[in-house]
Amino acid sequence: MDALEAIYTRRSIRKFVMKEIPDDDVTKILKAGMSAPTAGNQKPWQFIVLRERTAFEQVIEANPYSKQMLPDVPVAIMVCFDKNREKYENRWQMDCANATLSMLLATHGLGYGGLWLEIYPVQERIKMIQKSFGIPESVIPFALVAVGHAAEMKSYVEKYDESIIHYNRWKE
């Protein structure tokens, strides 16, 4: 699958088949996240790979909405912002979002289903996740990328919309 095909056809998968994901593929997904662009190449992230069911239960406790998606997910990767790695103030959200999207595209490119589950900016979720996973206060959990074998197929949806494009200046 080429890059444009991966971008155009990636969809959020919410139903999975419980089947393991090889460590090599998890490493490829992490490598994609770490290859994302960042402000001034600051790379302000840390990652936590979840494979144990108890870890998924802790995420569900912090984010009950995730209960619908996580029961059959074999692996998830938590993207976290490490304040100690920040060089350029107030850019980390974009950096962590870039890493998250890069991992989702890699997940799709490898033939798996993926889903972005929000942690940040909900303070209650952040605090519960920090406590459950022993994350220091200087590290903010940002998002969880669920990775698994899709139990649902979603067709291509054309999202291109000429009406929202402006050339050279804003035009009504």
Listing DSSP states for 21-86 in one string gives --HHHHHHHHHHHHTS--GGG---EEEEEE-SHHHHHHHHHH-GGGGGTGGG-SEEEEEEEEGGG-
- State CA 51 to chain mean position distance: 15
- Residue the block writes with tokens 């998002």: 143
Q: What share of the chain is helix, strand, coil (3-state, %, to 5)?
A: 45, 20, 35
For the residues 50-77, what does the mean pLDDT come to?
A: 96
Give the count of domains, the chain. Answer: 1
Closest by CA position to 75, among listed 101, 97, 53, 57: 53
For the residues 8-24, what does the mean pLDDT come to?
A: 96
For the residues 53-62, what does the mean pLDDT come to?
A: 97
pLDDT at residue 1 above 90?
no
Q: Identify the H or E element spanning 91.
A: none
CATH of residue 58: 3.40.109.10
* Whole-model pTM over 0.75: yes
Q: How confident is the model at residue 172 (pLDDT cuts 50, 70, 90)?
A: confident
Q: Do 120 and 93 contact (CB within 8 A), yes or no?
A: yes
pLDDT at residue 171 above 90?
no
Residue 171 is assigned to a structural domain of this protein: no
Structural tokens at position 5: 């095909």
Residue 169 is assigned to a structural domain of this protein: no
pLDDT at residue 54 above 90?
yes
User: 74-122, pLDDT tens digit by residue?
Assistant: 999 999 999 999 999 999 999 999 999 999 999 999 999 999 999 999 9
Residue 172 is assigned to a structural domain of this protein: no
Residue 170 is assigned to a structural domain of this protein: no
pLDDT at res. 163: 94
The pLDDT > 90 percentage for the chain reads: 97
For residue 69, give its domain range.
3-164
- Tell me which DSSP letter residue 152 carries: S
User: 112-164, pLDDT tens digit by residue?
Assistant: 999 999 999 999 999 999 999 999 999 999 999 999 999 999 988 999 999 99
Residues 6+ apart with CB under 8 A from 97: 142, 143
